[in-house]
Amino acid sequence: MNELTYCTRKSALALAQSRAFVESVKARAAGPAFTELTLTTSGDRFLNQPLQDIGGKGLFIKELEEALLDGRADFAVHSIKDVPAELHPGLALVCIPEREDPRDALVSKSGAGLMELPQGARVGTSSLRRALCLRQARPDLQIEPLRGNVDSRLKKVTEGPLDAIVLAYAGLRRLGLGSQATEVLAVDVMLPAVGQGALGIEARQEASECHQVLNLCNDPATSFCVHAERAVMLAVEGNCRMPVAAHAIRENGKLRLAALLADADGSNLRRAERTMAWPEVLGPAQLLEAAALGRDLGQELRALRS
């Protein structure tokens, strides 16, 4: 294979993480040249509306998937947290590289941490999951809608009316802005989104030669964890209209999977977790085991509905 075309969104973060991934492939694969195709997605066009009102996170990958299906691109680089539980027929996630830090980060105007913010502080986020966790920790906070790229979000707190915002720490780090984080929030305070911090490389199912090249950068441990998390989302039929989170980690020789689910208005919050032994070998059979664990946990959360 002499040349591969990859597609990506045009945001600074999408470009940074896509180009970093391609460089990692180049370091491992001799031969292929890479061409970049940048696209504006539906999610990028409607920045003044909540995602849940315009179709959900799948809007950030729709145009990229179209480019894969019509042959303009060989693979797409996504943030896994933007990828719906069910992929378009004919497409597959063929590589999940090593994960960045999956936690969320608070950026505050004053330098105060979450618990030190003033009473009634205005905190920006459009994520129902983040809003729910913020209200659990600080019921007094005023949650304000916040969309846009990382730079425009940061300006809302550094130059604008907000006292603080919450962003994915991985995004800040990939842009070289990790020092902007006032506090990296513990997972027991704010459970991360499904797949947060991980990239998902999507390609046509039949493109086996492309898969072989991309798979050189697959990280089996990250893939194992992400499969468990995504199975939770699939089991609860997760979408942008409900707060859902799942976080898998290797801990004391086990896979520990924690998840939460609530109704769209933040009510009926329930949490649960499952563990399984961390396998000695990580292959396709073990990915199915991880997915089964996530499915069982998701079904438990659904059954806890009062």
Residue with the two structure tokens 């509905």: 305
**Cα gap 34→2, rounded to integer Å:** 9
**Cα gap 303→12, rounded to integer Å:** 41
106, 58, 66, 40: which is closest to 241 by C-alpha?
58
Q: CA-CA distances (angstroms) from residue 75 to 17, 42, 158, 257?
A: 14, 19, 36, 29
Phi, psi of 280 (to 5 degrees): -70, -30
The three-state DSSP-derived secondary structure of 40-63 is: CCHHHHCCCCCHHHHCCHHHHCHH
Active site residue: 82, 188, 263, 296, which one?
A: 82
**Cα gap 264→113, rounded to integer Å:** 27
Q: CA-CA distances (angstroms) from residue 34 to 3, 30, 39, 56, 73?
A: 6, 12, 16, 30, 10
User: Does the annotation mark 82 as catalytic?
Assistant: yes
Q: CA-CA distances (angstroms) from residue 57 to 8, 139, 239, 256?
A: 15, 27, 8, 26
With beta carbons less than 8 A apart as the criterion, state whether 78 and 196 touch. no
**Cα gap 125→27, rounded to integer Å:** 37
Token pair in block for residue 140: 């007094």
Token pair in block for residue 172: 């800040």
**Cα gap 237→304, rounded to integer Å:** 15
Expressed in angstroms, the distance from the first to the final Cα of the chain is 55
What positions carry a catalytic annotation? 82
